A and B are shown apart, each in its own frame.
Chain A
Amino acid sequence: MMEEELTFEEIMKKLEEITMELENGDLDLEKSVSKFEEGMKLSKKCNEILENAEKRISVLIEKDGKLEEKNFIEEEE
């Protein structure tokens, strides 16, 4: 699916555009329905991105010239 490659921001923007198009009301019914479906799909996608993102707080530590990603554990000062 095309949306897979888009960033959250881009999907959000598309959603906004589609809503505006639909609101402008110049579309015929078939087009309106398909725009509506597309909009709902985009909205769902945004929600999925928000919900499926995993909380991760990591720290990059250099090891043999490479950065290794490890879970961040706060050190006491």
Chain B
Amino acid sequence: MEYNPITVTELNKYIKNKFDKDNFFENVLIEGEISNYKRHYTGHLYFTLKDENSLIKCVMFKTYTSHLDVEPKDGMKVLVLGTVSVYERDGVYQVYAKAIKEYGGMGDLHKAYEKLKEKLEKEGLFDTAHKKKIPFAPKCIGVLTSNTGSVIRDIINVSTRRNPNVYLKLLPVPVQGEGASKKIAEGIERMNNEKLADVIIIARGGGSLEDLWPFNEEIVARAIYNSEIPIISAVGHETDFTISDFVADLRAPTPSAAAELAVPDVKELKIKLDVYEKRLKQDLLKKAQLMRLRYEKCLSSRAYKEPFQKINEKYMYIDMKIKVMENKIEDKIKSSKLEYVNITSKLDALSPLKTLVRGYSIVSLNGKVISNVKELKQNDEVDIRMQNGNIKAKIL
């Protein structure tokens, strides 16, 4: 058998033809993890798809990239639909991707999230009845977050703006990656065991579901649930809801909002206190005015205004009675007089004196009226009473 040498170009062309004739290579669906991902400035995407044992080069031309629903990145598990062909220049076969779909890792996370959420909800970890009230104006605020980055800076800025004398205690914890959840849970327990704060903020900036993952782990959820210190959860952006957010006593949309919820505005508080003082003063004043009014009303009553009125009235009454009595007496006297006159006139009529006037005389002996001649004897000296006087006489 004779060997005719061919060029490299001819060989690669031959191989490419073989590939292109194979219907199986036309549309292949491959499952793998992205690595060495690069978005070239031309808009084409270059990456390697791998599993535990093997890898294959991939390219996605710009025309297909507009259909991507997720920006591919290293470590992302994906399904790639494409054509396997040969790049003649480099003598490599590769996948010409037409579509990429996120698969595996992230999908698993979503499933795990939903599963844990359902489980904890059933267990009652999200119950509002268990939620503690966030203390108003806590003396000390514990913050669990990374000690670098914008989150702690935002919390410090907002807190000190609202209360220049705020007391913040930062317990630095990793907020993403392996082991972060354990550290966060430990931090919460530690804060509780050593009673380090009156309220705890657990915070993290925005990120992918993977980045926020520690806050979706059971160990953190349980630590939050078991915390005696009320906890405000501020993880990710406003649109991100982590399990921590559900278990926490209060969910803040952002770390800054968490600081606002934990730290009352001192200026507002002072205004409130001022209002209370004013109200107290007004109330007392009102009370005093009311009392004065009542007092004045009492004073202005007739009893106080004319204290002798009653007495005078009594005097008047007495006077009236006396008058009545006087009248009565006078009447009595008058009628008595009248009666007297009547009687005396009657007496007068019956009086012996009248008889005397008519020429009769009364003879008495030693004061005894004599009406019988036989009572008298010679030489008796008798008194004769006539109308105008007495005269002595001797019986002959």
Binding site for B on A (CB under 8 A): 7-9, 12, 15-16, 18-19, 22-23, 25, 27, 29, 32-33, 36, 39-40, 43, 46-47, 49-61, 67, 69, 72, 74-77
Given contacts A36-B280, A53-B167, 19 further A-B contacts (CB under 8 A): A7-B135, A7-B139, A8-B137, A12-B272, A16-B276, A19-B283, A23-B283, A25-B286, A27-B287, A32-B283, A40-B280, A46-B273, A56-B168, A57-B156, A57-B168, A59-B169, A67-B171, A67-B194, A74-B156
Q: How far is the CA of A74 from the CA of B139 in the complex (A)?
A: 22
Interface size for B (C-beta < 8 A) is: 41
Q: Which of B171, B270, B284 contacts A47 (CB 8 A)?
A: B270
Q: How far is the CA of A67 from the CA of B272 in the complex (A)?
A: 37
- B148 close to A29 (CB less than 8 A): no
Asked if B306 is at the interface of the complex by the 8 Å CB criterion, the answer is no
Asked if B28 is at the interface of the complex by the 8 Å CB criterion, the answer is no
Q: Which of B184-215 contact A (CB under 8 A)?
A: 190, 194, 196
Chain A residues whose CB sits within 8 angstroms of the CB of B139 once the complex forms: 7-8, 53
Q: How far is the CA of A61 from the CA of B147 in the complex (A)?
A: 11
Q: Determine the residue in chain A with the shortest Cβ distance to B291.
A: A29
Can you sample 6 A-B contacts with CB below 8 Å? Answer: A36-B280, A56-B168, A67-B194, A74-B152, A74-B153, A77-B149
Q: Determine the residue in chain A with the shortest Cβ distance to B272.
A: A12
Asked if B107 is at the interface of the complex by the 8 Å CB criterion, the answer is no
- A75 close to B148 (CB less than 8 A): yes
Chain A residues whose CB sits within 8 angstroms of the CB of B291 once the complex forms: 29
Q: Which of A23, A50, A56 contacts B266 (CB 8 A)?
A: A50
- B270 close to A50 (CB less than 8 A): yes
> Are A32 and B284 also in contact (CB < 8 A) when A19-B279, A60-B196 are?
yes
Q: How far is the CA of A59 from the CA of B291 in the complex (A)?
A: 58
> Are A43 and B273 also in contact (CB < 8 A) when A19-B279, A29-B287, A53-B139 are?
yes
Which one of B272, B287, B291 has the greatest number of beta carbons of chain A within 10 Å?
Answer: B287
> Are A43 and B288 also in contact (CB < 8 A) when A54-B167, A72-B170 are?
no
- B135 close to A9 (CB less than 8 A): yes
Q: Which of B165, B287, B290 contacts A55 (CB 8 A)?
A: B165
Asked if B99 is at the interface of the complex by the 8 Å CB criterion, the answer is no
Q: Determine the residue in chain A with the shortest Cβ distance to B288.
A: A29
Which one of A23, A33, A69 has the greatest number of beta carbons of chain B within 10 Å?
Answer: A23
Q: Determine the residue in chain A with the shortest Cβ distance to B172.
A: A59
